[in-house]
């Protein structure tokens, strides 16, 4: 494998000292994933899975403050305004990559040093070793652009403690490095100043667990700890309307703020998200969750709220999306049910 770093390549793939290296190299877009990047990662992992010369994989990013801010949502929206073929191809490729990472038979080390959102979560959180640093900023902000927390969000979010995942998914709340480990999203927390030395040791090959143990730092209570009782009580309610009402009736500034944040999110997306997480919690396999999410994504990528959310947040940047329907109480159960129905061509078909 070519070990020469070529600056213009968005993904650098090589093997060094028996270590498979995947380096995201699209800093101008915060390493947002394209279909080609996902395909190239999947092809490398498929090769390395059976390659006795590769002991484990390390995923990092070349430069900049973003590990990976998500998928190339603007490109998805361009396709969604047309026939949606390219958008569905992106999700198909991305979700198959997520499944490869989840089932990878060797250690998969993701160095989440920077912005880690959406698709960036999908290529890291399903790996065996997830390293957060003081630069890590985690979020699943999809309901703010009319999407939903995909890339396996239906698997890992409802499996976090209590209703933490539901809160993160509906509000898009952000967690900083130590909190990412405290929440169980990362397996280790390392100081960014130690990261170069850690990476150097990892790339020499060796006992991963021993190396990471020496660099791992303890973390304190997360900022959300004082609200955990309210998170579990309120975000565990049966319907989105019940959650919104409970937040409004709760006598705390924190709860009022959560309600205000949710009022800016797509009511349809939040309704879909709540069902996604509730169903995902009951599913027995990761593949079942990804199949569900592909059904949703295949339809939502051409929906009014997604295209309007991208316009308002990423294109015109007026941050005033006109959601349709505009309120939680106006979302019909039929419209939500429709996006969960089987497709003619399923993800694993």
DSSP 223-240: GGGGGHHHHHHHHTSSSH
Please indicate whether residue 119 is annotated as part of the active site: yes
Residues in Cβ contact with 91 at an 8 Å cutoff, skipping those fewer than 6 apart = 76, 150, 294, 297, 298, 301
Tally Cβ neighbours within 10 Å of residue 197.
Answer: 13
Of 142, 179, 293, 308, the catalytic one is: 142
Integer angstrom CA distances of residue 318 from 262, 265, 312, 313: 18, 14, 5, 7
Q: In this structure, is the dihedral angle defined by the CA atoms of residues 265, 269, 270 and 271, taken in order, positive or negative?
A: positive
The DSSP bridge pattern shows strands 56-61 and 108-112 to be parallel
Residue tagged active-site, from 40, 72, 94, 150: 150
Measured between alpha carbons, how far apart are the two ends of the chain, in Å? 31
Candidates 66, 70, 71, 177; catalytic one: 71
Of the listed 66, 80, 119, 259, which one is catalytic?
A: 119
150 is catalytic: yes
Catalytic residues: 71, 119, 142, 150
């Amino acid at each position: 494998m070519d070990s020469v770093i070529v600056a213009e390549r968005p993904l650098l793939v090589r093997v060094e000292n028996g270590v498979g290296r995947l380096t995201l190299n699209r800093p101008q877009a915060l390493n947002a994933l394209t279909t080609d990047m996902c395909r190239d990662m999947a092809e490398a992992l498929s090769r390395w899975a059976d390659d006795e010369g590769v002991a484990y994989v390390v995923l990092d990013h070349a430069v900049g403050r973003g590990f990976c801010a998500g998928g190339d949502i603007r490109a998805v929206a361009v396709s969604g305004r047309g026939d949606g073929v390219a958008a569905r191809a992106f999700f198909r490729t991305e979700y198959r990559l997520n499944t490869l990472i989840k089932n990878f038979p060797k250690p998969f080390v993701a160095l989440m040093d920077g912005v880690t959102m959406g698709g960036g979560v999908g290529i890291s959180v399903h790996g065996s070793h997830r390293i957060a640093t003081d630069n890590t900023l985690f979020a699943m902000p999809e309901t703010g652009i009319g999407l939903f927390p995909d890339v396996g969000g239906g698997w890992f979010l409802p499996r976090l403690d209590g209703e933490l995942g539901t809160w993160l998914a509906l509000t898009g709340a952000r967690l900083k490095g130590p909190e990412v480990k405290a929440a169980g999203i990362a397996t280790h927390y390392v100081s960014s100043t130690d990261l170069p030395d850690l990476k150097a040791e990892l790339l020499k090959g060796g006992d991963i667990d021993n190396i990471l143990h020496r660099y791992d730092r303890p973390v304190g209570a997360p900022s959300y700890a004082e609200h955990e009782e309210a998170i579990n009580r309120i975000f565990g309610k049966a319907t989105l309307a019940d959650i919104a009402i409970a937040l409004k009736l709760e006598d705390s500034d924190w709860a009022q703020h959560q309600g205000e944040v949710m009022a800016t999110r797509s009511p349809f997306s939040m309704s879909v998200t709540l069902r996604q997480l509730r169903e995902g919690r009951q599913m027995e396999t990761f593949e079942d969750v990804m199949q569900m999410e592909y059904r949703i994504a295949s339809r939502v990528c051409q929906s009014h709220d997604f295209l309007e959310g991208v316009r308002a947040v990423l294109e015109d940047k007026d941050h005033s999306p006109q959601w349709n329907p505009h309120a939680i109480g106006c979302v019909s159960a039929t419209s939500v049910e429709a996006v969960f129905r089987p497709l003619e061509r399923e993800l694993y078909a």
